[in-house]
């Protein structure tokens, strides 16, 4: 694959002619200043929950055309030979290319043609930690300036790989998003939980530190409480304070550890964490702030406790069974399976402690079967990776390597390619719930954010090799990935637009 030149700063007008050797994408730049929409138009300031795009300085509308041979809308069937009209930061209209309105045909506008156009992708489970390893104690030993410098590179890599939006479920993404929104650096739209909330001795505790040291950095009463990616809270009142602390920091969702985990040394993924009263306090306090709650859950007990308390998303869902599925369907909850961290973790024991690797192997035995059961049963699913390492960037768990999750959704989860794309696009905003103003994103529809990506080839080709529909139980083999393998290599993403601004082109 020929390496493409990447636009590191926003290029809203596509002011130079370019082409790609991948699949014939080209840019036709004509009169970038002309707009058929003649009324004065100041771009609206976006709602905090809707987008991180800053207001545009021009008092005139900015219009561009993006034509494509294949349009994959995010939800629904592909359409052929279509043109998307982008006005400022939003999708204004969608027309068959052969039937463009006369005023669009007769006036020069910036125009780009791409082979395949999709909504920008969502990674619904990331951690912007700025660390070099999976050792959770690095969270408190890494200086914030060092973490921020590393994360600036990660943010760029994420965006240029085609992921225009992410949920950060414990990290420094809130602070990073401020630099992105003021155009100090390129990066995705970020919807962060700020600090992930854990009980003492829970998945978010630092077991290799004395308890007083851990509490001096991470408790709800310590100096600068809530400023780290982890937050320890015990008892209903402290849990409410924890939610208020992350809300004060600017959280767009809330993250709670409702079961043990793999990387935490002394807890058990099968064991539930937090009492029913504590979980209910977290969900109630979050609801009053208009925030949905994401629950880290491996074991069945933790999954059911989180669902009964009202948590909106289940992260991982390793031991999910028929009873869990029944409750998820009744509650309308969303599963974020995070297959990437399981696949990579099993293949790379050097990335974690021996104790954690034993737990990784044990949970991996059940994860695929649970994933396929959820798909087969019609549970709502959004894709997320659980990536969180910052450097080196070629680490298999480094931020910016999210594309494999779509392929795993087909080969391991049993989704069709279109289902996998929907889970990585249209389902993204649904992880933020309906309590607040979730963004109009993840679909190519009129009035939605103009977050778009182009691929050099069609990921729906070679569907027979992708594993097809619902598939069987956890033990059967999947397909070879087929066209969905395109998403694994960021070089196959030829263009990236976020809020109508082009950040990557050939």
Whether 255 sits among the annotated catalytic residues: the reply is yes
DSSP E strand boundaries for 298-401:
313-316, 334-336, 380-381, 387-389
Which position among 168, 267, 386, 449 bears the catalytic label? 386
Q: Are 39 and 429 in contact (CB under 8 A)?
A: no
Q: Are 94 and 117 in contact (CB under 8 A)?
A: no
Give how far Cα 231 sits from Cα of 215, 217, 227, 267, 482, Å.
Answer: 9, 9, 8, 17, 42
3-state secondary structure of 335: strand
- Residue whose pair of structure tokens reads 């999947």 in the numeric block: 478
Length of the chain: 506
Q: Are 295 and 256 in contact (CB under 8 A)?
A: yes
Q: State how far the Cα of 127 lies from the Cα of 190, in Å rounded to an integer.
A: 11
Which stretches of 24-143 are DSSP H helices? 102-105, 138-141
Q: Spell out a b/e string for 17-34, using b for 16 or more CB atoms within 10 Å of the CB, else e.
A: ebebebbebebebeebee
Helices 354-377 and 339-347 cross at an angle (nearest 10°) of 140
Q: The sheet that has 121-131: what strands, in order across it?
A: 189-192, 163-168, 121-131, 387-389
Q: State how far the Cα of 389 lies from the Cα of 399, in Å rounded to an integer.
A: 6
Work out whether strand 493-498 and strand 452-455 pair parallel, antiparallel, or are unpaired: antiparallel
Question: What is the DSSP code (8-state) at residue 11?
Answer: B
Whether 440 sits among the annotated catalytic residues: the reply is no
Dihedral sign (CA 75, 81, 84, 85): negative
Which position among 157, 252, 255, 451 bears the catalytic label? 255
Q: State how far the Cα of 53 lies from the Cα of 181, in Å rounded to an integer.
A: 6
Helices 322-331 and 300-309 cross at an angle (nearest 10°) of 20
DSSP E strand boundaries for 207-253:
230-232
Which stretches of 31-172 are DSSP H helices? 102-105, 138-141, 144-160
Q: Please identify every residue annotated as catalytic.
A: 255, 386
């Amino acid at each position: 694959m020929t390496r493409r030149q990447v636009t590191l700063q926003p290029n809203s007008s596509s002011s130079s002619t370019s082409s790609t050797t991948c699949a014939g994408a080209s840019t036709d730049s004509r009169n970038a200043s002309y707009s058929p929409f003649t009324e004065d138009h100041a771009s609206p300031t976006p709602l905090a929950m809707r987008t991180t795009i800053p207001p545009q300085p021009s008092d005139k509308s900015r219009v561009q055309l993006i034509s494509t041979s294949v349009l994959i809308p995010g939800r629904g069937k592909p359409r052929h030979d279509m043109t998307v009209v982008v006005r400022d930061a939003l999708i204004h209209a969608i027309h068959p290319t052969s039937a463009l309105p006369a005023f669009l045909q007769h006036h020069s506008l910036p125009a780009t043609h791409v082979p395949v156009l999709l909504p920008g992708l969502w990674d619904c489970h990331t951690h912007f930690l700025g660390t070099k390893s999976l050792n959770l104690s690095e969270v408190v030993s890494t200086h914030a300036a060092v973490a921020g410098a590393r994360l600036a590179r990660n943010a760029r890599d994420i965006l240029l790989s085609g992921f225009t939006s992410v949920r950060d479920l414990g990290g420094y993404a809130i602070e990073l998003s401020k630099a992105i929104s003021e155009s100090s650096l390129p990066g995705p739209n970020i919807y962060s939980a700020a600090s992930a909330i854990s009980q003492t001795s829970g998945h978010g505790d630092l077991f290799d530190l004395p308890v007083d040291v851990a509490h001096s950095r991470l408790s709800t009463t310590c100096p600068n409480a809530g400023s780290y990616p982890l937050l320890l809270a015990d008892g209903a009142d402290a849990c409410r304070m924890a939610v208020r602390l992350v809300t004060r920091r600017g959280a767009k969702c809330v993250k709670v550890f409702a079961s043990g985990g793999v990387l935490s040394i002394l807890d058990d993924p099968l064991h539930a964490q937090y009492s029913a009263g504590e979980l209910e306090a977290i969900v109630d306090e979050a609801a009053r702030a208009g925030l949905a709650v994401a629950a880290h859950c491996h074991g069945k007990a933790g999954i059911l406790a989180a669902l009964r308390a009202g948590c909106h998303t289940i992260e991982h869902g390793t031991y999910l069974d028929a009873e869990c599925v029944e409750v998820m369907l009744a509650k309308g909850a969303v599963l974020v399976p995070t297959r990437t961290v399981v696949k990579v973790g099993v293949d790379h024991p050097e990335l974690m402690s021996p104790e954690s690797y034993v737990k990784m192997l044990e949970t991996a035995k059940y994860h695929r079967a649970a994933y396929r059961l959820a798909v087969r049963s019609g549970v709502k699913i959004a894709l997320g990776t659980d990536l969180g390492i910052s450097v080196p960037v070629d680490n298999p768990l480094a931020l910016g390597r999210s594309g494999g999750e779509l392929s795993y959704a087909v080969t391991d989860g049993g989704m069709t390619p279109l289902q996998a794309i929907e889970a990585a696009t249209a389902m993204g905003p649904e992880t933020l719930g309906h309590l607040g103003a979730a963004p109009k994103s993840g679909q190519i529809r009129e009035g939605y954010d103009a977050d778009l990506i182009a691929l050099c080839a069609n990921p729906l080709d070679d569907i027979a090799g992708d594993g097809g529909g619902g598939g069987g139980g956890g033990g059967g083999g999947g397909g070879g990935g087929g066209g969905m393998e395109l998403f694994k290599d960021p070089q196959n993403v030829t263009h990236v637009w976020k809020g109508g601004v082009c950040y990557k082109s050939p």
